[in-house]
Amino acid sequence: MSKRELGPYPGLSYAHMVSKDVHSSHVVRRFALYPIDIERPEKGRRVEALECGRCQKPVKFKVLSVAATRTRRWVWLVLGLVGVAVALGFGVAIFQVGGQVAEEGANPVGPLALGFLAGFLSGIVGLSYWWYEDGVRGPGSPLMSFGEHVLRWPSS
């Protein structure tokens, strides 16, 4: 269904930032990778803290059951497909109304363009979350900035 396989243990690693070197045009970060050894629960979710292999600080993770992860995948898939359908609908409406705008002088394309953009963005977000949903939540946000610990690290 999606890229990540589901099993009794998450197949992810978390990373501890070992060093951060700032150069003139870029930042070089080095990480140490550690596995997430938390067994998936039968139902619902399990919140557990692991001791970091590098700094011995507790790192908190939320691991969802296989059924809960599949449910989240379906929700993300439905959101993504609805977003794509909305974007297509508004896109068709823009083309239909586009010729009438020049004749009548009104400009209904603005709200239609916003609807298209909202559908397009929700489609992209929903489908990407569907593809990468693995049922694990943890520290760090690689989209914003790296913290001391970060999840969603490629397995090596």
80-112 pLDDT per residue, tens: 999 999 999 999 988 888 766 555 566 677 888
**Exposure string for 18-55, b = 16+ CB within 10 A, e = fewer:** eeeeeeeeeeeeebeebebebebeeeebeebebebebe
N-terminal to C-terminal alpha carbon distance within the chain: 22
Query: What is the value of pTM for the model shown?
Result: 0.76
Query: Mind listing the pLDDT tens digit for each residue in 116-130?
Result: 999 999 999 999 989
